[in-house]
Copies of this chain bind each other. A is one copy, B any other.
């Protein structure tokens, strides 16, 4: 029961949630586009320029993100302007913000000297960081996390 880890050949790749998530957001450009979307970027060429990617790549990735339901593409019109399309995060896309926050936190520590953005709690102004918590409300240090078989493994 507890040593299901020992024979994880059978399930390590099969229907793994991490692999499934990476099938959607497993490349650099996609995550940077989502970073921009979380900053409020909406227009096509802003995405391409700020992510630092060519237009064909931006078009392909944005299209894929819309197809995957992370971004919503919808027309809008500023007064006196023609109709344009904008891309905004869906709930499914917003739920990836913890991933971006965790990457940012790691990058702040190990990849850059001076972070250009910091996250603050709107109510109290204190710095926001990513934490592991259990359903009972405890803070969970990384070494107190147990790996247990999930419902996808019970039939075996």
Residues of A in contact, count (CB < 8 Å):
88
Minimum CB–CB distance from A18 to chain B (whole Å) comes to 5
Residues of B within 8 A of A15 (CB): 112-116
* Cβ B138 vs Cβ A21 within 8 A: no
- Tallying the copies of this chain within the complex gives 2
A133 contacts B by Cβ under 8 Å:
yes
A84 contacts B by Cβ under 8 Å:
no
Minimum CB–CB distance from A116 to chain B (whole Å) comes to 4
* Cβ B9 vs Cβ A130 within 8 A: no
* Cβ B145 vs Cβ A104 within 8 A: no
A interface residues, Cβ below 8 angstroms from B:
5, 8-9, 11-28, 31-32, 35-36, 39-40, 49-52, 92, 94-136, 138, 140, 142, 144-153
